[in-house]
Chains A and B, each alone.
Chain A
């Protein structure tokens, strides 16, 4: 059974249709990259998987671990191991990074029938993961994302992922706004998470991150559909040629049909 199966997913916001029938199958252990030009619906797809209420699913279905994903509340999807690394992580003043992450971890652990971690055990776990992302401990005491640089916010997302150990991680433009050093650190964090039980969907505009996080499959999202799939060669081709040829191909196809 596939970990995630999306069939003919149609999604809109208000009157506007953004996804026009997306099909995607993700198995455990696989890394899928979803690329596409701006406004093609990449972020919408990532957020809809996580259950964002701003969007309306008008048709299609999504099964995750055999369950009807779209019927689950966002927090239940998270507890079931679906993690979204946000493109724009939000700030919560006065709530420490560590306190937030501990609450999240314990919510997830409780759901999995595990005992809650106390402050000591939590700190030793999180410090170890933080080292991997070159984050020092003072970082954990700061208010969640408040006053963080762009790079710190993205590293913090990956830190949360490392601590929460999801089954399916959806990374929404995690590479955007990162300089090359930060990108390398983030990619190291992501690669450390790869494993036979875990799948990832990497949403990105640029091919750059895929040089570090080698995908098994690359899909191109255009005009609300996955119009082309391939391996990482496809990503390189997109880097070389841009997205315009996809557009032309798509136009020719729709004209022909």
Chain B
């Protein structure tokens, strides 16, 4: 048989971004208590209200239990064995001051800041571990009144905006990991687009987990004011590690009247070795609120990394005629487990949502789609369309779907489609018979499967995503 053994051979290549950069780190002692929360807050010279908010979150977190309803299994996490604060010692004010080692690391990843700046027209707010190391295009953006930078900066420079919106979409007590994040978040990105402004470039951040034993607690807040438009890109890779690393980020998006917010993610964190050892735990809370009438929030994600993924980018459709979208490709290979999906909460009248989810499982990967669509009584004439497709590569992987649909309005329209298919020996043979190598054939079939989602990514990201899928399924080298 061509299929089984060949597909297995094709999917057993190794992660290529595994290296550790030697940068001096400032570490908080391991463990978590109120003093650590205070330390983080004081390191950042935060206002009193923010410290109080963190402490409230911490105290609430102590009363919560780690959730285990997701369709994933992992060993216990020792929350006292984690450093909750790490920062590069030099705090650069401009790109020139950025540690050359950090820049070299971006080079290795193929994302040189300077090149991005010039060629791609992308403003990159690079986050290494917890503190921003470089911000570009700031001047150009500030001419338009756009605020884009690190979260800590925003706390200093625009405390009113932060205080107004922080926790307004994901409250500090929302869930176990969100509460933990609220208590100890170190940094992240902040963007504010003023009324009527169309952000002229894709806003982009590259996250990277680097410090040993360091949890990552990013906090991102993006506000699109009335009639504005912004597209935000988030992309990640991480170095090889033996211990599992916890990542519990929170992303909050707010769209006011007629605003459009597009958030695209490529996530390529270290998934662990073939036996699942050393991968990153990615427990993320991402949620957008369409607060204004006719507003729109669109999530697009390509998830190929992490050992465990627990992530449901969601939309609360509060404004009348608002729209939510979720486009997702999730790949699990080797021992990876992903439990991901979305929530669409319809509150406003004539709200619409679209869910397109593509799960790809290879090796012994387990891929779960979990989605909730709730149309409240107030959401008259609202609509949802959901499509969940699963593709299996090989015979030892799994795909699972848990759709949860709750409709409380008699005028609502719901559609749900689902399919599961397998890359068949017949498809491979057909492609081979036309002269294609099996690895090229699998890559072609998989990219065809993901096409609907890739179409929603910004162009340069779409190309990157295609490559990444090929790499994640270990089909690299012969494709191109």
Distance (whole angstroms) from the CB of B472 to the closest CB of chain A: 18
Chain A interfacial residues counted at CB < 8 A: 31
Cβ-based interface call for A90 (8 A): yes
Cβ-based interface call for B19 (8 A): no
Cβ-based interface call for A177 (8 A): no
Cβ-based interface call for B21 (8 A): no
- Decide if B427 touches A92 in the complex (CB within 8 Å): yes
Distance (whole angstroms) from the CB of B247 to the closest CB of chain A: 31
Chain A residue contacts of B119, Cβ below 8 A: none
Cβ-based interface call for B133 (8 A): no
State which residues 102-135 of A face B: CB under 8 Å.
Answer: 103-104, 107-108, 111
Chain B interfacial residues counted at CB < 8 A: 26
A53, B432: Cα distance in complex, Å: 11
- Residues 433-472 of chain B, each 1 if its beta carbon lies under 8 Å from chain A, else 0: 1111110100011011111100000000000000000000
Known: A160-B434, A164-B434. A74 touches B2 (CB 8 A): yes
- Decide if A86 touches B430 in the complex (CB within 8 Å): yes
Known: A92-B444, A103-B444, A104-B436. A53 touches B429 (CB 8 A): yes
Cβ-based interface call for B424 (8 A): yes
Cβ-based interface call for A54 (8 A): yes
Question: Among A30-38, A57-65, A93-101, A237-245, which stretch is in contact with chain B?
Answer: A93-101
- Decide if B435 touches A111 in the complex (CB within 8 Å): yes
- Decide if A73 touches B425 in the complex (CB within 8 Å): no
Known: A54-B425, A90-B427. A78 touches B451 (CB 8 A): no
Closest to A95 in B: B448
- Decide if A94 touches B433 in the complex (CB within 8 Å): no
Closest to B434 in A: A104
State which residues 139-168 of B face A: CB under 8 Å.
Answer: none
Distance (whole angstroms) from the CB of A78 to the closest CB of chain B: 4
Chain B residue contacts of A54, Cβ below 8 A: 1, 425
Chain B residue contacts of A73, Cβ below 8 A: 432
A71, B424: Cα distance in complex, Å: 23
- Decide if B435 touches A107 in the complex (CB within 8 Å): yes
Chain B residue contacts of A104, Cβ below 8 A: 431, 434-436
Distance (whole angstroms) from the CB of B80 to the closest CB of chain A: 47
Cβ-based interface call for A18 (8 A): no
A-B contact pairs, 30 of them (CB 8 A): A50-B429, A50-B433, A51-B433, A53-B3, A54-B425, A74-B429, A75-B435, A75-B436, A77-B433, A78-B434, A78-B435, A79-B435, A86-B430, A90-B424, A90-B427, A92-B427, A92-B431, A93-B449, A94-B447, A94-B451, A95-B447, A100-B431, A100-B434, A103-B440, A107-B436, A107-B437, A107-B440, A111-B435, A143-B448, A160-B434
